[in-house]
Amino acid sequence: MILTNLIEISYKNILKPIFFKKDPEDVHDRMLKVGQTLGSVSFLKSITKLLFDFDHEKLVQKVDGLTYRNPIGLSAGFDKDANLIKVIHSVGFSFAEIGSVTLHPYAGNPKPRLYRLKKDKGLVVFYGLKNIGVDKIIDKIKNNYKSSNGNILGVSIARTNSVEASGFEEGIEDYKGSFEKLVNSDIGDYYTINISCPNTFYGEPYSTPERLDGLLTSLRQIKTKKPVYLKMPINLPWDKFDPLVETAIKHKITGVIIGNLNKDRNSEYITEDYPDDMRGGVSGLPTRELSNNLIRLTYKKYKSKITIIGVGGVDSAESAYEKICYGANLVQMITGMIFNGPQLIGQINKGLVDLLEKDGYESISDAVGSKV
């Protein structure tokens, strides 16, 4: 506890002021290298676990056949190329989503593609599905990842950000190609179909019920017993969002991840000015209310018919618990960790145990949907 507080104070007062003066993408890339080093040396990995990880029986949960030792996961986009797979669970996450991965590699949109909104506690993200491609990612996971009890690895799939994959049918074939390769090589404990990346030049063509139906009809031909989730957009009103959930249920999708970036620059939750030429969706606090509202409405209508993974603006035990009480079985995050430090994951898990005890719950599953 004292150690965790010390790490938090050091991060907020020493490291963060240094990091936040530098280019955000450079800092991100350096952090990936540090993480890779920590994961490659078993002594350093053990120290990392000792400093950051927190386990408690009340946090253990079985979701869609998989056992999670806590409900907190790393959201897609932080570890796009599976660089952190050896260390990510030692930092305290029970699960991590690699990617989004595409059939073909993509170097990413032109820079700048990451910008900090310090006041709004968010990031403007314009990577545009930068990744090394599904084949290399499969090899990396095969060669470097050992599964362990209570720790889960998901892989997020999107379609290649290229002219060749920009047509409706071509896009489906592209998704299908990655999905098939992952399923055939038995890589990943679950899969996510990302239909909500706001940063591709062809937009989000699969986020209408008819087009989503086309995509899922095709992906269903690839058989897997593993859970398959759908990563949802968060800027849709309920009457446009609900038909997407219905389409997902019709195609036996296991769950919805709610959700992706806030892509409405005029959103009431984005109050900070930033350069006009900085394009992209916004993460962090400006996503919190939008995602919470859709989580609550989805749970209210569908209860346990479909699993919900809540993402957006989680930066404390309270904000993670809020999503769980609105109906999320599991919670993911990125931006909260960047603004508060890597000790946050353990702090959230510890705080969740306190909140469960305060509310008289035996386990995290008892709290799911309790405020709906």
Ligand X SMILES: Cc1cc2nc3c(=O)[nH]c(=O)nc-3n(C[C@H](O)[C@H](O)[C@H](O)COP(=O)(O)O)c2cc1C
Among 207, 235, 254, 287, binds ligand X (CB under 6 A): 287
| Segment 327 to 356, residues that bind ligand X, using CB under 6 A | 333-336
104 binds ligand X (CB under 6 A): no
* Residue number with CB closer to ligand X (90 or 335): 335
The minimum distance between CB 309 and ligand X, in angstroms, equals 10
Binding mask 154-173 for ligand X (x = CB under 6 A): --x-----------------
- Contacts of 14 by beta carbon, 8 Å cutoff, 6+ apart: none
* 242 vs 282: CA distance, rounded Å: 23
Give the interface size with ligand X as a residue count (CB under 6 A): 28
Tokens 């540090």 — which residue?
Answer: 34
Strands (DSSP E) contained in 109-219 are: 114-117, 122-125, 152-157, 190-194
- Give percent helix, percent strand, percent coil of the chain, each to the nearest 5: 40, 15, 40
Counted residue by residue, the chain has a size of 372
DSSP 12: I
Residue nearest to ligand X (CB): 77
The minimum distance between CB 47 and ligand X, in angstroms, equals 26
| Segment 118 to 157, residues that bind ligand X, using CB under 6 A | 123, 125, 127, 129, 156
* 300 vs 226: CA distance, rounded Å: 25
Q: How many Cβ atoms are within 10 Å of 240's Cβ, its own excluded? A: 13
* Residue number with CB closer to ligand X (58 or 70): 70
Phi, psi (deg, nearest 5) at residue 150:
80, -5
Binding mask 192-221 for ligand X (x = CB under 6 A): --x--x------------------------
User: CA 327, 329, 332: angle at the middle one, nearest 5?
Assistant: 105
Helix (H, G, I), strand (E, B), or coil: what is residue 366? helix
| Segment 249 to 278, residues that bind ligand X, using CB under 6 A | 260-261
The minimum distance between CB 352 and ligand X, in angstroms, equals 16
Instruction: Give the orientation angle of helix 134-144 with respect to helix 168-184, to 10 degrees.
Output: 20
Strand 281-282 relative to strand 122-125: parallel, antiparallel, unpaired? antiparallel
* 82 vs 78: CA distance, rounded Å: 9
48 binds ligand X (CB under 6 A): no
* Residue number with CB closer to ligand X (260 or 292): 260
The minimum distance between CB 157 and ligand X, in angstroms, equals 9
Among 89, 104, 211, 231, binds ligand X (CB under 6 A): 231
312 binds ligand X (CB under 6 A): yes
The minimum distance between CB 46 and ligand X, in angstroms, equals 27
* Residue number with CB closer to ligand X (86 or 121): 121
Kindly list the residues in this chain that would bind ligand X in the complex (CB under 6 A). 75-77, 80, 99-100, 114, 123, 125, 127, 129, 156, 194, 197, 231, 260-261, 283-284, 287, 311-314, 333-336
